[in-house]
């Protein structure tokens, strides 16, 4: 994908001077095709944003599908699926119980952009009227810009890439015995009052296994997860299966006698999982992005 984009930019440099020249139809079609695929958040490029507020301007992952002169949207944050936006400026209307959303988009100067205008019930407390999103291919990846009316947050800008264009991290060297301090039954309470537990087996056979369970204040299980840490290629891989779904792998990038960091920049969220053992023998688990944002933190005590 990145190689194809660079070739496209080379062609544009040849055909453009200081004044933008409208590209022939075949070139426009090629540019549109670069939008196709599943896109994953990589980096917040918004200037002046504090570290704790860094994050994606829309969903952590989304898809664009080009069909002729139509772009099909999925995962763009509105909850609407398979929204078809014609590039001739015509309006696509989508109704649900909360509002009527009108999508209108166009392709201009190498940028696909669209607005979503919302018509809500008078009694609605949601003041958002319009969302404007634009998508432009750059050598870094897909540059996404989002603004809103009223401006709930300032203009947000970020880079997204397809999974194959995101480098996996170099793994730290370790054996499963090096993560043995994580073994045990760990229990905690979330801010909502729900209880959460992780029960990790001792290291054996090149692996540690765990189950996680969250139970709400009414005594109902509301979430569970299967977890593994396994030896691979001289390092460790953390494998998570929330609700037993398809496994997602995270790769050990740092390890000490009290801290383990597992990363997967190709995953939408989380991209990083960190376990840390305090001097008092308590365990914390945080999940978040590789850079910035406010990680989610879970705290546990060892169950005797």
Residues 95-122 have pLDDT tens digits of 988 889 999 999 999 999 999 999 988 7
pLDDT score of 9 more than 60:
no
How many residues are present in the chain? 304
pLDDT at 27: 53
pLDDT score of 6 more than 80:
no
**Residue closest to 110 by CA, chosen among 139, 82, 81:** 139
φ and ψ at 69, to 5 degrees?
Answer: -105, 30
Most confident of the following: 8-17, 29-38, 92-101, 233-242: 233-242
Task: Give pTM, 2 decimals.
Answer: 0.87
Is the model more confident about 46 or about 17? 46
Averaged pLDDT score across all residues of the chain = 90
Q: Residue 304's pLDDT band (boundaries 50, 70, 90)?
A: confident
pLDDT score of 8 more than 90:
no
From 27-31, 118-122, 179-183, the region with the lowest mean pLDDT: 27-31
Q: Residue 12's pLDDT band (boundaries 50, 70, 90)?
A: very low
The string of DSSP codes covering the chain is -HHHHHHHHHHHHHH--SS--PPPHHHHHHHHHTT-EEEEEEEE--TT--GGG---SS-SEEEEEEETTEEEEESSSSS--SEEEETEEEEEEEE-SSEEEEEEEEEETTEEEEEEEEEE-TT------EEEEEEEEETTEEEEEEEEES-SS--EEEEEE-GGGSPPPPPPP--GGGGGGG-EEEEEE-TTS-EEEEEEPPPBTTEEEEEEEEE-TTS-EEEEEEEEEEEETTEEEEEEEETT-S-EEEEEEEE-SSEEEEE-TTSSS-SEEEEEE-TTS-EEEEEE-SSSS--EEEEEEE--
6-31: b or e for each residue (b if 16 or more CB lie within 10 Å)?
eebeeeeeeeeeeeeeebeeeeeeeb
- Mean pLDDT, residues 43-52: 95
Question: What domains are defined for the chain?
Answer: 2-162 (2.40.128.20), 176-302 (2.40.128.20)
pLDDT at 121: 84
Is the model more confident about 68 or about 13? 68
pLDDT at 77: 78
Q: Is the dihedral of CA 265, 270, 275, 278 positive or negative?
A: positive
- Mean pLDDT, residues 81-89: 94
φ and ψ at 163, to 5 degrees?
Answer: -55, -40
Q: Residue 123's pLDDT band (boundaries 50, 70, 90)?
A: confident
pLDDT at 16: 37
Could you tell me how far CA 96 lies from the centroid of its own chain? 25
pLDDT at 126: 86
pLDDT at 291: 96
Q: What's the token pair of residue 238? A: 């953390």
pLDDT at 4: 45
């Amino acid at each position: 994908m990145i190689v194809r984009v660079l070739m496209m930019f080379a062609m544009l440099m040849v055909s453009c001077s200081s004044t933008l020249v409208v590209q022939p139809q075949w070139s426009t079609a090629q540019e549109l095709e670069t939008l196709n695929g599943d896109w994953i958040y990589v980096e917040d490029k918004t200037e002046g944003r504090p570290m704790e507020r860094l994050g994606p301007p829309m969903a952590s992952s989304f898809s664009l599908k080009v069909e002729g002169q139509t772009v099909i949207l999925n995962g763009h944050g509105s909850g609407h699926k398979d929204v078809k936006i014609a590039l001739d400026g015509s309006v696509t209307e989508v109704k649900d119980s909360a509002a009527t959303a009108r999508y209108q988009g166009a392709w201009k100067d190498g940028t696909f952009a669209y607005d979503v205008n919302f018509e809500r019930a008078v009694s609605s407390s949601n003041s958002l009227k319009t969302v404007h999103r634009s998508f432009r291919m750059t050598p870094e990846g897909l540059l996404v810009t989002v603004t809103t009316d009223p401006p709930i947050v300032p203009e947000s800008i970020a880079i997204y890439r397809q999974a194959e264009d995101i480098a996996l991290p170099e793994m730290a060297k370790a054996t499963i015995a090096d993560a043995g301090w994580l073994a045990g039954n760990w229990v905690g309470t979330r801010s909502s009052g729900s209880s959460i537990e992780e029960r990790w087996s001792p290291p054996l056979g090149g692996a540690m296994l765990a189950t996680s369970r969250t139970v709400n204040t009414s005594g109902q299980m509301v979430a569970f997860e299967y977890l593994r840490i396994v030896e691979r290629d001289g390092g460790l891989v953390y494998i998570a299966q929330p609700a037993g779904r398809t496994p997602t792998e995270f790769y050990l990038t740092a390890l000490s006698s009290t801290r383990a960091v597992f990363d997967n920049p190709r995953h939408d969220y989380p991209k990083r999982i960190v376990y840390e053992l305090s001097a008092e023998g308590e365990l914390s688990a945080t999940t978040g992005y590789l850079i910035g944002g406010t990680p989610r933190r879970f705290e546990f005590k060892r169950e005797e």
